[in-house]
Structures are given as structure tokens and as C-alpha cells.
Amino acid sequence: MKENKKVLLGMSGGTDSSMAALLLQEAGYEVTGVTFCFYEKDGQTAYLDEARELCERLAIPHLVYDAREAFQKHIIRYFIDTYMKGQTPVPCTLCNNYLKWPLLQQIADERGIYHLATGHYVRKVQAEGYWHIRCGADPDKDQSFFLWGLPQTILERMLLPMGELTKVRVRELAAERGFQRVAHKRDSFGVCFCPMDYRSFLKEHLPEGSIVPGSFYDEEGHCIGKHEGYPFYTIGQRRGLGIYLNKALFVKQIIPEENKVIISDNLQSLEQNEMYLHQSCVINPEALLGRDDVVVKIRYRKQANRCTVTRIDADRLHVCLHEPLASIASGQAAVFYRDDKVLGGGIVE
């Protein structure tokens, strides 16, 4: 499609996408807002009304797209199933890779709109002919970790009005323009459809008896206590185990078939020197593969480790870690960076 001044903006009703609408309009773009219904929380639809009201105030079209079926199947079901396999899910990453951005692209294509936008705190940059996501200017809000899997056809069309701003500045800009409600909305945290405590979510969404109590074992196979069901634990977890032995204990392994959780008091025994990824995305093979100046992050807020990446096949990557890394959990995402540029990523096997 030929580039034009039209942009389709994903609007959640929150501060960031609302401010994105204002800033894009001020920059001369013809904005259309779209709000996806991803799930229904107690029938609440206030977010739809808020997005619609803002669009009315800005005199821009507002679309509502019902994505509940796809979200239920590909995100909520996957989230529950992954925990039931004893793994750690990454719903926000998968939602961006397979739902949010592809849907924006599909709807924009149908309407002859070239640009795609969200209120994500990221920037983009072109290097050696490839578009890359770049960390947002606000280190506290940077969301680059969730956007490693997007194809060039989406990256080239992205507009990211929050990328150069801090959240504090975004709130000031909203207040200066007289959008008090937008300026003072609460930040959202964690996984949008699930409360901070994912255990109660799993209990609520699974038939009774799906998760049953079992035993903790040490590395020698001795039973050292009772747990509430293996899906409630993640590799590397230290807090909330309910075993008190006067020393730090970590979840080392989860064996779903036997409902066993293996515990270690030695963090070093959880360390690994390599990992395999699937569902991988390599943006520019020359910038990532076989290089020794790449870092990998396996958690949103965790420190980055140096690594060398090689390709096994079209889907899989091998990651050799230059220093061992503890708490690698299967199911979670690994994201590659050089400086603040995202080079690709994958899901830990």
C-alpha cells in the first residue's frame, strides 16, 4: 500500500493511547481509532465508552472490533494451558505478535489506511535496510520486551508517538490540553485479563479438581513439604513456597505428570549455559547470528546477559550464554538487543 497521512490507532481508553490520538492529530495525521473487545470482565464496557467519547471530542472516527473469540482461544486458553504444562506463559507478547498488531494491519488494509499506531513506550529505527523496535525514552515504561516478534510489513508502517516521552510528560501534556481525566487515569499493571494473583484466576477458570495439592522434593528425592498444586509455581521462585528451613529455597524443576515440585537451596544449581528457543523471529540475520556483542533478556525487568545465537532451522535458535543464567523457565520469552535496538527473540523450549 502507498504511504498516506492516515493512521489507525489502537485505543484502550487509557492515558497513553488517548494521548497518542491527540499527538497524532496535532502532527497532521488523519486518525481513526479502533478499540478491540478482547475479553469481558464482569460485563464492564467503560473502556469502550471512554475511547468513543475521546474520539467524539477529537472528531475522529471510532471503530469497535470484537476479538473475544480469538483472544479466548489464543491468549486466555494458552495462558491457562501453559501453566498446566508446568511452564510460564507470555500473554502480552503473544497478543502483540498474533492479535493486536496483525488486527490493526488487517483493519487498516481494508480501509486504505497506511500507518498503524499504539500508545506503546517504544521507538523504531532503521539499520542496514531493516526496521527494528528501539527502547522507549522512559526506562521505567519501556515496552520493547513485548514487541520482538513483529514482521517488517508491520514495523515499517508503525507510528509510535509515546516513544520519545516519559509517562510524567505524557500526563502533563494531557493536563495542558485540558484532558484532565486522561491526565489522571491510573496506570494498568501486569496481564490485562488476569489479576496480579494468577492462582485465583486459574482456580476460577478450571474445573474443580484440576489443580490438586502435591509434594515438594529436594534434589535427592526426599519429600520436604506440601505444595498447593504444581501450576502455582515457576522456575526460580523463592517466595511463597510455605517451607521454612532457615535458608533460601528455589523452585528448580516442575514435573506436571507427577505433580512434583523440586526445590534447591543452591541458586547456582539452577544456572544454565545455553537455551533453545522456538517461534523465533530474527530481524536481520547478519546483525544477530554468530555475533558476540548481543545481549539477551528473559524477563521484563531483569538484567541482560551476553550471548551468541545460532540458527537451528527456520523456527528454532540456540543461545549460548557467556555467563550462566539462573531461572530460565520454559514458555517465557527471550529477547535479543544490541544497545537499545531489538534484534529478535523467541520462546524458551
Ligand X SMILES: Nc1ncnc2c1ncn2[C@@H]1O[C@H](COP(=O)(O)OP(=O)(O)OP(=O)(O)O)[C@@H](O)[C@H]1O
Q: Nearer to ligand X by C-beta: 14 or 163?
A: 14
Q: Which of 95, 135, 194, 281 is catalytic?
A: 95
Mark whether 192 is an active-site residue: yes
Distance CA 118, CA 101 (A): 9
User: Sign of the C-alpha dihedral, residues 147, 148, 151, 157?
Assistant: positive
Least distance to ligand X from the beta carbon of 140, Å? 12
Distance CA 93, CA 149 (A): 8
Check residue 32 for interaction with ligand X (CB under 6 A): no
SS3 label, residue 102:
helix
Binding residues: 10-17, 36, 119
Check residue 144 for interaction with ligand X (CB under 6 A): no
Interface with ligand X (CB under 6 A), residue from 22, 24, 31, 35: 35
Q: What one-character-per-residue DSSP string does 281-344 give?
A: EES-HHHHBT-SSEEEESSTTSPPEEEEEEESSSS-EEEEEEEEES---TTSEEEEEETTEEEE
SS3 label, residue 30:
strand
Check residue 105 for interaction with ligand X (CB under 6 A): no
Beta strands 30-37; 6-10: pairing state: parallel
Q: Which of 37, 92, 135, 192 is catalytic?
A: 192
Interface with ligand X (CB under 6 A), residue from 7, 8, 10, 348: 10
| Closest among 54, 167, 94, 186 to 35, alpha carbons compared | 54
With CB under 6 A as the contact rule, which of the stretches 8-16, 80-88, 207-215, 281-289 interacts with ligand X? 8-16
Biggest CA-to-CA distance, the chain: 67
Least distance to ligand X from the beta carbon of 84, Å? 25
Interface with ligand X (CB under 6 A), residue from 8, 15, 113, 237: 15
Locate 270 and state its grid cell: 539452577
Interface with ligand X (CB under 6 A), residue from 14, 229, 231, 346: 14
Mark whether 135 is an active-site residue: no
Q: Nearer to ligand X by C-beta: 87 or 118?
A: 118
Angle between helical axes of 46-58 and 15-26 (0-180°, round to 10): 20
Interface with ligand X (CB under 6 A), residue from 7, 22, 38, 344: 38
With CB under 6 A as the contact rule, which of the stretches 10-18, 23-31, 78-86, 303-311 interacts with ligand X? 10-18
Q: Please, are residues 344 and 288 in contact by the beta-carbon 8 Å criterion? A: yes
Binding mask 119-138 for ligand X (x = CB under 6 A): xx------------------
Whose CB is nearest to ligand X? 14
Window 158-217: residues binding ligand X (CB under 6 A): 188, 192
- Residue located via cell numbers 474443580: 208
Work out the angle at residue 336's Cα, subtended by the Cα atoms of residues 331 and 337, and round it to the nearest 5 degrees.
Answer: 150
Locate 141 and state its grid cell: 515504561
Check residue 11 for interaction with ligand X (CB under 6 A): yes
Q: Please, are residues 341 and 291 in contact by the beta-carbon 8 Å criterion? A: no
Interface with ligand X: number of residues (CB under 6 A): 17
Check residue 88 for interaction with ligand X (CB under 6 A): no
Alpha carbon 346 to its chain centroid, in Å, reads: 12
Least distance to ligand X from the beta carbon of 25, Å? 15
**In the complex, which residues of this chain contact ligand X (CB under 6 A)?**
10-12, 14-17, 34-36, 38, 100, 118-120, 188, 192
**Which positions are annotated as active-site residues?**
95, 192
